[in-house]
Amino acid sequence: MGAPGKLMDLCWDEIHDAQKYALLANQYKCTNRELADLFFKLSGEEMDHMARLQAMAFRLLDQERNAGRDADGKIQAVVEHLHCRNLDAAADVGIMQGLYRK
């Protein structure tokens, strides 16, 4: 899988942490606003971590291709597959964060 794929797996972890925090933010929204705000902020921070890891994964993928180490496209295929998986989960987080803002 290499470093780009490993980074995309780490993105998955960050997305799931963000999802957990966004869910908690919505659960506490009406009963403990201070706690809910903390969870909402943590959710956003996790999504920022995901974005930074993803950006690095794509930079490393470009480096692999430019150095000729992905001539068969296997690394790119893995990264693209993981990226699509992550996009679906990240969209769910965005929905939960949007519900919190209402």
- Tens of pLDDT, residue by residue, the chain (102 residues): 699 999 999 999 999 999 999 999 999 999 999 999 999 999 999 999 999 999 999 999 999 999 999 999 999 999 999 999 999 999 999 999 999 998
pTM: 0.92
Burial group, residue 85, by CB count within 10 angstroms (0-12, 13-18, 19+): middle
Q: Which domain holds residue 92?
A: 2-101
Our measurement of the distance from residue 70's CA atom to the centroid of its chain's CA atoms, rounded to an integer in Å, reads: 24
Q: What token pair was written down for 37?
A: 């705000």
